[in-house]
Structure 1
Amino acid sequence: MREAISDHILVAAGALFYKEGIRAVGIDRIIEETKVAKATLYRHFPSKDHLVAAYLQDRHDRVIRSLQDVLEATSDPRDQVKVLFERLHEKADSPEFRGCAFALAVAEHGDSERVVSVARTHKAMVKDIFAAIMSRTAGRPDHAAAHLALLYEGALATVAVGRDPQSVLIARDCALSVFDTVIHSTTPSKKSRT
């Protein structure tokens, strides 16, 4: 089946935006890469701002789907936390990895409410995924989910700057420590059960 023109534009623009930066990639470059007419591009995406937001929305959908696949692959909450970080490590261990596309977009295009809105929604949903995992444990799941989300985001930023994917594994170990602390602090002691 032939790829829709809007999808073709989105895939090409998204790859360029992530690899080279949003400000560095102009509409003419996208037209050259996609081999579509300027009028065609603007028919699908009325402005570069719309194109950037669509790129982020597409990326958001793919990332969230990938994270949710982890939740479906195993029912053990601790394993889910572990695998989420290990999947991030796999991505970060690639020469093409530049860090979080949403943070990069806000850093470059933060004056766009459209772009900022997609990025904020994405970050909130990542935190919600950790909250869903922690809700299956006792204690303060929102508090622990905030810690886990910050470790995840911190790992993204650290590996982008330091270029050391091992940072993600360190964050994984910290996340598992947070998880274990929450579990052990909410498990009734023998004294309270007698």
Structure 2
Amino acid sequence: MTTAARSAVADKILNVAGSLFFREGIRAVGIDRIVVEADIAKATLYRHFASKEDLVVAYLQERHAKVMQGLEEVVANDPDPRRQIATIFDRLYEKADNPEFRGCAFALAVAEHGDSERIVTLARLHKRSVADFLRALAERAGFADPDRIGRHLALLYDGALARRAVYGDPEPMRDARDCALSLFDMAARNASTAHITD
């Protein structure tokens, strides 16, 4: 089997497993179910992923890459930091306004596998990466305390995802967007005042 063919098979397994993990939960989906849904032999799955945990880690790594790519696209497509914030939460709403959306894949994974150091480490890396991205956005906006603003934006982002998971309602994304824009406007006013008094 060529490298390209192996990669295609691994991608197929990962796509099927990832979709099932997110919709139904990691513990609820066994290897046998993935094998049936992907229409492959169990030996084929284990040739690409040595264990279920390896498959979960690959799924989370892929989700992390997609989330970060989506955030980077927002910045690349619009130079205005305030509109970037609005777009980030609008996109979150679009994702959440889907009956199969269950919340943050990383928080869900930790809730199910908090005893796995690899999964917890990946989840923390993801949360730090999103927070760092939001801090950098606040820094580019010229705010006096971008670390604090970044943490607050990350809290709104995570909180909206958590409420969606609990209530099954996408509206918290809009509430978080409104709060994020209010926070942005307040920080912009403070930065403007500080600049005038300097």
TM-score by length of 1: 0.95
Equivalent residue for 1:90? 94
Number of residues of Structure 1 aligned to a counterpart in Structure 2: 193
CA deviation profile, 1:126-163 (whole Å, cap 9, x unmatched): 11110111011130001000000000000001112112
Q: Give unpaired runs (5+ residues) of structure 1.
A: none
The gaps in structure 2 that reach 5 residues or longer are none
Find out whether 1:185 has 2:190 as its counterpart: yes
Residue pairs, 1:32-51, within 5 angstroms: 32-51=36-55
Structure 1 residue 165, shift from structure 2 partner? 1.1
Partner of 1:78: 82
- The CA RMSD measured in Å over matched residues stands at 1.6
Relative distance call for 1:189 and 1:45 in structure 2 (3 A) is: closer
Question: Kindly tell me: are residues 140 and 40 of structure 1, through their superposed partners in 2, closer, same or farther at Cα, counting changes over 3 Å?
Answer: same
SS in 2 for 1:188: helix
Q: Which residue of 151, 156, 170 corresponds with 1:151? A: 156
Alpha-carbon distance in structure 2 between the residues aligned to 1:188 and 1:109: 47
Residue 193 of structure 2 aligns to a residue in which SS? coil
User: Which stretch shifts more, 146-155 or 176-185?
Assistant: 176-185
Matched, 1:30 2:34: yes
Counterpart AA for 1:67:
L
Match of 2:62 among 39, 50, 58: 58
Deviation of 1:87 (Å):
0.4
2:13 maps to which residue? 9
Q: What residue number does 1:140 align with?
A: 145
Deviates more, 1:180-189 or 1:72-81: 180-189
TM-fit CA distance, 1:189: 6.3
Give the superposition deviation at 1:188: 3.1
Deviation at 1:186, TM superposition (A): 1.5
Select the residue among 155, 158, 176 that pairs with 2:181.
176
Amino acid corresponding to residue 181 of structure 2 in structure 1: L
Kindly provide the amino acid, as one letter, of the partner of residue 184 in structure 1. Answer: R
Percent of aligned pairs with the same amino acid: 55
Structure-2-length-normalised TM-score: 0.93
Code of the aligned partner of 2:151: A
Q: What is the one-letter code of the residue matched to 1:24?
A: A
Tell me if 1:127 matches 2:131: yes
Structure 2 CA distance for partners of 1:107 and 1:66, relative to 1, 3 Å: same
